[in-house]
Amino acid sequence: NAGVTQTPKFRVLKTGQSMTLLCAQDMNHEYMYWYRQDPGMGLRLIHYSVGEGTTAKGEVPDGYNVSRLKKQNFLLGLESAAPSQTSVYFCASSFQSNEQFFGPGTRLTVL
């Protein structure tokens, strides 16, 4: 099993550009999450999903949108990227409200 995978691993954007980060899991987990990690701040939850077709806001949702069209995939979108969105983005999944399994991360730089 690959576990949780993220695409791409690195990306550089210009201010105002849009992009989508893809997260995939092969563990048949119901719950999926998107976090951002910034120095000295730990991880902060952006959005999460409790099942196919459902999404909800986390702690820092502004500037991001998500979609969960298939159970195994969770997409994070930036419609108009800003320098403040420069960060490392982690996707995670869990079977229940319990241990979360993390992907390797996507390093995004917005110039």
Partner 1 sequence: AQSVTQLDSQVPVFEEAPVELRCNYSSSVSVYLFWYVQYPNQGLQLLLKYLSGSTLVKGINGFEAEFNKSQTSFHLRKPSVHISDTAEYFCAVLVLLDMRFGAGTRLTVKP
Q: How far is the CB of 33 from partner 1 (least distance, A)?
A: 7
Give residues with Cβ within 8 angstroms of 33, minimum separation 6. Answer: 45, 47, 48, 49, 58, 74, 91, 92, 93, 94, 100
Residues contributing to the site for partner 1 (CB under 8 A):
4, 31, 33, 40-45, 48, 50, 56, 58-59, 90, 92, 97-105
Q: How far is the CB of 18 from partner 1 (least distance, A)?
A: 25
Q: Which residue has the tokens 């409200």?
A: 97
Q: How far is the CB of 40 from partner 1 (least distance, A)?
A: 5
**Angle, CA 55 vertex, CA 71 and CA 28 arms, to 5°:** 20
Q: Is the CB of 19 or the CB of 60 nearer to partner 1?
A: 60
